[in-house]
Amino acid sequence: MATNTRILFFLMVLTGPVSLIAQQVPDTILLNGKIVTVDDLFSIQEAVAIGGERIVAVGTDAEIRALAGSGTTVVDLDGRTVIPGLIDNHNHIIRATEYWPNEARLDGVTNRLEALARLEAKADSLPAGEWLMSLGGWTEAQFIGNRADFTLEELDEISPGRPAFIQSTYDHAFANTPWFDAMDIPVVATRAQRDAVTGLAAHVVRDEAGRATGRLDGGMAMIRLAIDGFPEVTADKQAEAIREALTYLNGIGLTSIYDPGGVGIQGESYARLRGMADTEGLTVRMFHTLAGGAPNTQEAAAQVVAEIEASRPFQGDHVMDLLAVGEIYYAPFHWDSLFEPRRPVAQDLDAGKRILTAAAEGGWSVQTHASQPETIDLLLDVMEEINAEYPLRQLRWSITHADLVGREQIERMRHLGMNLQMRSISVTAQPRRYRLLEEMGDAGLDVPPLRMIEASGIPWGLGTDGTKAAQINPFITLWWAVTGRALNGDQVLRQTLTREEALIAHTRSNAYLMFQESNLGAIEPGLLADMLVLDGDYLTVPVEEIKDILPVATIVGGRVVSGSL
Ligand SMILES: [Zn+2]
């Protein structure tokens, strides 16, 4: 190497070359920032240039300033930190948009009085006749100090004359007098009425005198009955509700979501969203699965096979696309947590195998709901059989929220080219609900085994499993992964990550899991300009403050969709 070349090479290594994809005059340049690119080297830069919906260049202030033309908007970041837009790889958001305008979210609230205050503020903001709701994503266990039930009287006071239904994950709920009236269930029941009740009324918790406390028990069964009584949502209202939900997500730093369908989700929900994507655009990119409810009969399994054969993935674009089959394509095959824990019998395994074979034949990715080791082993047995005939490697099959995945299972998955989607569900302290975790004692702190997964090198990413089972704020997920703490301060996880590892898992890794690595996940030339300008430096704020970070501006496809620059 000649001396001059060697010096040039040295300088390039030292400063990093300005990365450019085209001789394009940028529309916007952001200068004087701390650009956490989350590129392969996790490099930090000063400035970024945006042209159209993509990133044109990343480099030093001087390098980026030199690209500006007369029409370029120049923004001084004033030293603020910028990270790639955050991607939730498991969030049932489409289902949640239905009643979004009625809902008070309690994500991250650690104080009972503050929770009541949020509910009251929401009730005050709603037009007459609209219900007050909070549909999961929180549990009293996340509160510090007082964790008492919300009472009928309290909910009457904060939501007078307005039905209130406040749901704590999928476990129980609280309601007020107007809700009892709307459901035609007496607040004070006579002995005869109490003995006779069936349906939703049977889940009402009453005191000795037969008076409702406001609490309803009964888990999923109760919640299903309650949903039957919810007011209808018109198509007009639905579009507005979707816009409102996506704006909320932008406000907490989300720019892309992988939605795994779920019970109650229909094809028309996605069709409506696709229509909006085409006519007005979406402020959160929506990737989703081919999912309808949770089929649990042989006929329904045959229907799923027919649907897989009749549809094709990857026909959308980088605003919205159908990516995979999942997360529950045949309920008895995923027996571990959602339904009656009966082991799958031979015909259930056959049905699961038929569905997975159809997916492999059709070139589909598959996302499979499973959390417990026995379930994961059983799934892998079937998948390995299929792989012998249809190599799965290119299809990036995944196991989602594999909370109890083991080392050997990861090795089996690696051979199949699979990946893992992990969730921060324990941040609300609810893992104690799981019998298995209670039995595990200290070993429960290894659930999920994030450090082991990270060290294994298997592709994996972070998500939530919101909106009902879990909270949805990505900065709370990052904080949980770094500190191992639940919102109430308890340690729930001892296999923690570094801040850098956690951020990669919530951005670039999720982009790979969603086949979007050439579009999303980092601040690099050529990728879509999805990024967050933060109110604190994620890499250096005191660790306790990570969960409180908020974007001052959320940029999607080069456009500020929330906050301002
Ligand atoms: Zn699931």
Residue 401 near residue 425, CB atoms below 8 Å: yes
Residues 215-248 pLDDT 10s: 999 998 999 999 999 999 888 888 999 999 999 9
Going by pLDDT thresholds of 50, 70 and 90, the confidence category of residue 16 is very low
- Half-sphere CA count of 134, side-chain side, radius 13 A: 32
Q: Where are the domains of the chain?
A: 3-79, 99-228, 294-521
CA-nearest of 275, 236, 284 to 466 is 284
Q: What is the pLDDT of residue 269?
A: 83
Residues 273-331 pLDDT 10s: 999 999 999 999 999 999 767 788 899 999 999 999 999 999 999 999 999 999 999 98
User: 82 pairs with which residues across the strands?
Assistant: 35, 533
Structure-block tokens of residue 335: 């027996």
> How many A from CA of 368 to the centre of ligand 1?
8
> How many A from CA of 546 to the centre of ligand 1?
26
What value does the mean pLDDT take over residues 53-81? 98
pTM over 0.75: yes
> How many A from CA of 323 to the centre of ligand 1?
16
Q: Mean pLDDT, the chain, as a whole number?
A: 92
Going by pLDDT thresholds of 50, 70 and 90, the confidence category of residue 266 is confident
DSSP state of 132: E
> How many A from CA of 244 to the centre of ligand 1?
25
What value does the mean pLDDT take over residues 527-556? 98
Three-class secondary structure assignment of 264-329 = CCCHHHHHHHHHHHHHCCCCCEEEEEECCCCCCCHHHHHHHHHHHHHCCCCCCCCCEEEEEEEECC
> How many A from CA of 376 to the centre of ligand 1?
13
> How many A from CA of 327 to the centre of ligand 1?
6
Going by pLDDT thresholds of 50, 70 and 90, the confidence category of residue 506 is very high
Residue 134 near residue 150, CB atoms below 8 Å: no
Residues 333-376 pLDDT 10s: 887 654 445 678 889 999 999 999 999 999 999 999 998 888 89
Going by pLDDT thresholds of 50, 70 and 90, the confidence category of residue 12 is very low
> How many A from CA of 465 to the centre of ligand 1?
7
Alpha carbon distance 400, 309 (integer Å): 23
CATH superfamily of 3-79: Urease, subunit C, domain 1 (2.30.40.10)
CA 508: distance to chain centroid?
Answer: 15
- Give, in words, the CATH class of 294-521: alpha beta
**Portion of the chain with pLDDT greater than 90, in percent:** 81
Residues 138-192 pLDDT 10s: 999 999 999 999 999 999 999 999 999 999 999 999 999 999 999 999 999 998 8
Going by pLDDT thresholds of 50, 70 and 90, the confidence category of residue 430 is confident
> How many A from CA of 261 to the centre of ligand 1?
9
> How many A from CA of 492 to the centre of ligand 1?
20
> How many A from CA of 211 to the centre of ligand 1?
36
Q: What is the pLDDT of residue 436?
A: 65
Q: What is the pLDDT of residue 261?
A: 87
> How many A from CA of 435 to the centre of ligand 1?
18
> How many A from CA of 44 to the centre of ligand 1?
36
> How many A from CA of 146 to the centre of ligand 1?
30
Taking the CA atoms of 355, 360, 365 and 369 in sequence, report the sign of the dihedral they define: positive
> How many A from CA of 367 to the centre of ligand 1?
10
Sheet of 172-175: strands edge to edge?
132-135, 164-168, 172-175, 212-216, 204-206
> How many A from CA of 428 to the centre of ligand 1?
17
Taking the CA atoms of 516, 519, 525 and 529 in sequence, report the sign of the dihedral they define: negative
| CATH architecture assigned to 99-228 | Roll (3.10)
Q: What is the pLDDT of residue 433?
A: 59
> How many A from CA of 498 to the centre of ligand 1?
26
> How many A from CA of 366 to the centre of ligand 1?
13
> How many A from CA of 369 to the centre of ligand 1?
5
> How many A from CA of 371 to the centre of ligand 1?
8
What value does the mean pLDDT take over residues 241-269? 90
Alpha carbon distance 281, 554 (integer Å): 16
> How many A from CA of 299 to the centre of ligand 1?
22
> How many A from CA of 27 to the centre of ligand 1?
41
Q: What is the pLDDT of residue 155?
A: 98
> How many A from CA of 540 to the centre of ligand 1?
34
> How many A from CA of 82 to the centre of ligand 1?
31
> How many A from CA of 370 to the centre of ligand 1?
7
Q: What is the pLDDT of residue 23?
A: 62
User: 562 pairs with which residues across the strands?
Assistant: 554
> How many A from CA of 125 to the centre of ligand 1?
33
Three-class secondary structure assignment of 552-564 = EEEEECCEEEEEC
> How many A from CA of 400 to the centre of ligand 1?
7
Strands 164-168 and 172-175 turn out to be: antiparallel
Lowest-pLDDT choice from 129-133, 258-262, 478-482: 258-262
